[in-house]
Amino acid sequence: MRATHPDTLWRQTAGPKPVFPTATGVRKADVAVIGGGIAGLTTAMRLAERGVSTVLLEAEQIGFGASGRNAGFVVPNFSKADPETVARRLGDEKGRALLDLVGKGGERVFSLANAMGLGKQAEQTGWLQPAHSQAAARDLQKRVAAWQALGRPVTWLDVPEAAARTGMSVYHGALHDASGGMINPLAFVHGLARLALAAGATIVEQAPVTGISQEGQGWHLRTPHLTVEAERVVMCTNASETGIASRLGRAILPLTVFQMATEPLPEAVTRRFAPHREPVSDTRANIFTYRLDAENRLISGGMALSPLTGEKRMGRKIIDRLVQELGLSERPRLAHVWRGTAAVTTDFLPHLYALGPNFIGAIGCNGRGVAFTTMLGQVLADAATGADLESLPVPLAAARALPFRRLAGLAPRFYLAKGMLDDRRTMKNRPKGHATTSTMKGELT
């Protein structure tokens, strides 16, 4: 049965998809890559650039997973692990190498977008993270100092500046990373595929890998119409859980995230809450995010408390919240709502997984994967060409099924419900110098 494609804004605006020649029978390659998201495509591109013969197999169409469904925020850091935590968990040397990798993600995304000629579909405006409480402001100021010590273009904006950049008077300051910004993620995926093809990689769509077996020194990967015989395999299937993808999927917590986009808004309206056009993701547990696209459509998202909540209801809820938080006098018209699954690791860090001899996998998601997975391709290409896995900047983990995974899957909803109450309580304390209030009625249910 064919999977249905979600009603994303990006399918309407990304432009034509590259055409891939059909492939049947048996193909030999040095490396087989499974999964045509940002991680798989950057890996295939990097390998092909080194002259390594590479076949990428995608079950549906490239960008069918999180890479074609995300909000396109380019954020060069980890959402839950600040630089201090990373250094403590991995040690100074490895921690620094990983921070260097994620920190440079924004620059890499925009230099690739430039090479692809994405134009207005990629804007390096910087990324803004406003603090919803005094405690969050203190934490963010520490993060700013840590990123500055690592040489990153990260600064602290005071209360009036945060208000001027968002049009909202609830924030206690904001972290600003000048190397971040926003892209049309599906246009970026298409561009990566074109670069990979130009470098000599083979990409095959509608090729779900249904079986994989070790044969001599290498691996045979079976899809309905094609078998690939490869010396090495790289699996980039992220949160997918069906068939062989469950080898990675069972090691993470899947998180359903909804996104929506409005019809284009007049610039006189968007100038009030996005005068510099930066994408915004605040520090609330029930995170408030928004950005504009090239045509001034407003894009936002959220998680639902109930697993029964569908697209229509979530779309309405997210618009309610935008109207309330941004003080919009007219309700924008909803144009697209879609959902995707993000992969969350238990320590909120990306990981490499040794799945067998010359068979590796990786998860780089945790909700901020656009910049990081773009960098992951380099690391996976090193791993697939014989680098010692322990020497790479991304930590190695065992791809074990999480214990009590079904129950653990409820944890994000529990934390969201608790976080909503905490947000409501914390935000009663307004930053000094602002009389206006923004109520929390628009929270998602």
Ligand X SMILES: Cc1cc2nc3c(=O)[nH]c(=O)nc-3n(C[C@H](O)[C@H](O)[C@H](O)COP(=O)(O)OP(=O)(O)OC[C@H]3O[C@@H](n4cnc5c(N)ncnc54)[C@H](O)[C@@H]3O)c2cc1C
Q: Which residues bind ligand X (CB under 6 A)?
A: 34-40, 57-60, 64-67, 69-73, 75, 208-209, 236-238, 240, 243-245, 257, 259, 340-342, 364-365, 367-371, 373
Q: Which two tokens stand for residue 434?
A: 């602002």
Least separation in angstroms between CB 430 and ligand X = 28
**Least Å from the CB of residue 269 to ligand X:** 22
40 versus 83: smaller Cβ distance to ligand X: 40
SS (H, E, C) the chain: CCCCCCCCHHHHHCCCCCCCCCCCEEEEEEEEEECCCHHHHHHHHHHHHCCCCEEEECCCCCCCCHHHCCCCEECCCCCCCCHHHHHHHHCHHHHHHHHHHHHCHHHHHHHHHHHHCCHHHEECCCEEEECCCHHHHHHHHHHHHHHHHCCCCEEEECHHHHHHHHCCCCCCCEEEECCCEEECHHHHHHHHHHHHHHHCCEEECCCCCCEEEEECCEEEEECCCEEEEEEEEEECCCCCCCHHHHHHHCCCEEEEEEEEEEEECCHHHHHHHCCCCCCEECCCCCCCEEEECCCCEEEEEECCCCCCCCHHHHHHHHHHHHHHHHCCCCCCCEEEEEEEEEEECCCCCCEEEEEECCEEEEECCCCCHHHHHHHHHHHHHHHHCCCCHHHCCCCEECCCCCCCHHHHCCHHHHHHHHHHHHHHHHCCCCCCCCCCCCCCCCCCC
Rounded least distance, CB 10 to ligand X, Å: 11
Nearer to ligand X, 364 or 431 (CB): 364
Minimum CB distance to ligand X, residue 56 (Å): 9
Q: Whose CB is nearest to ligand X? A: 369
| Residue nearer to ligand X on the CB measure, 159 or 343 | 343
Output 180 or 431, the one with its CB closest to ligand X. 180
73 vs 171, beta carbon nearer ligand X: 73
Shortest distance, CB of residue 84 to ligand X, whole angstroms?
Answer: 21
Nearer CB in complex with ligand X: 34/144: 34
Residue closer to ligand X by CB (options 58, 123) is 58
Measured from the CB of residue 435, what is the shortest distance to ligand X in angstroms? 33
Q: Which is nearer to ligand X, 364 or 442 (CB)?
A: 364
User: Taking the complex as a whole, how short is the minimal distance between the CB of residue 405 and ligand X, in angstroms?
Assistant: 18
| Least distance from ligand X to the Cβ atom of residue 62, Å | 7
